[in-house]
Amino acid sequence: MRVLLVCDGNICRSPMAAAYLRSRAAHAGLAHVVIDSAGLLGIEGAPAAAHAIAVGRAEGFDLTRHRSRGITAADLRAADVVVVMTLAHLEELAERFPNPNQKRLLLRAFEAGPTPSGGAPELADPVSGPYEGFRDAFAVIRTCVDHLVLWLRHAA
């Protein structure tokens, strides 16, 4: 199973979520789950935001080698599940890469538990804010990814 995490620039939210999901999936014995991330803005080769790297270090994952990349049609064809941060991401994916049969979900649909819920809030982009904003965003990511792993156990 392939899971693609998507945000705007692929320098904050999706890299943090992907790195944490890789760690959690491995710990849960989901070695067959392949995790990747990309951004809708098409930024290529930028490092993760300094505050994202710092949060990763504090949380036990390393984003120093991460480089941003723009999403491609091939990414969408390969993904079984696409997890995004905002409704605008869902809308842009539907417009640019229509696929009504693909599972596309907001990350925060997993905030309350391992069954994705409708009406989920968006995860705000901390990109231009202080470290605390990144830390707070990661706290939400942690909860959601922990539940996503439980969902993947049954979906995979």
Beta bridge partners of 84: 6, 106
d(CA 156, CA 154): 6
Strand intervals (E) in the chain = 2-7, 34-39, 81-84, 103-106
Active site residue 125: yes
Give me the residue label for tokens 């869902």.
90
Of 2, 69, 80, 125, which is the active-site residue?
125
The whole-number pLDDT of residue 154 equals 87
Catalytic, out of 7, 12, 22, 75: 7
Residues with Cβ within 8 Å of residue 119, at least 6 apart in sequence: none
- The helix (H) or strand (E) run that includes residue 87 is helix 87-96
pLDDT at 156: 59
Q: Which of 108, 145, 57, 6 is nearest to 49 (CA)?
A: 57
Strand order in the sheet with 103-106: 34-39, 2-7, 81-84, 103-106
Question: Is the separation of the CB atoms in 3 and 151 below 8 Å?
Answer: no
pLDDT in tens, the chain (156 residues): 999 999 999 999 999 999 999 999 999 999 999 999 999 999 999 999 999 999 999 999 999 999 999 999 999 999 999 999 999 999 999 999 999 899 999 999 999 999 999 999 999 999 999 999 999 999 999 999 999 999 999 885
pTM: 0.96
Q: Which CATH superfamily is domain 2-155 in?
A: Response regulator (3.40.50.2300)
Q: Strand, coil or helix: what is 66?
A: coil
Q: Could you confirm whether 13 is annotated as catalytic? A: yes
Q: Tell me what pLDDT residue 103 has.
A: 96
Domain boundaries, the chain: 2-155
pLDDT at position 155: 81
Catalytic residue among 8, 12, 13, 144: 13
CA distance 62 to 22: 11
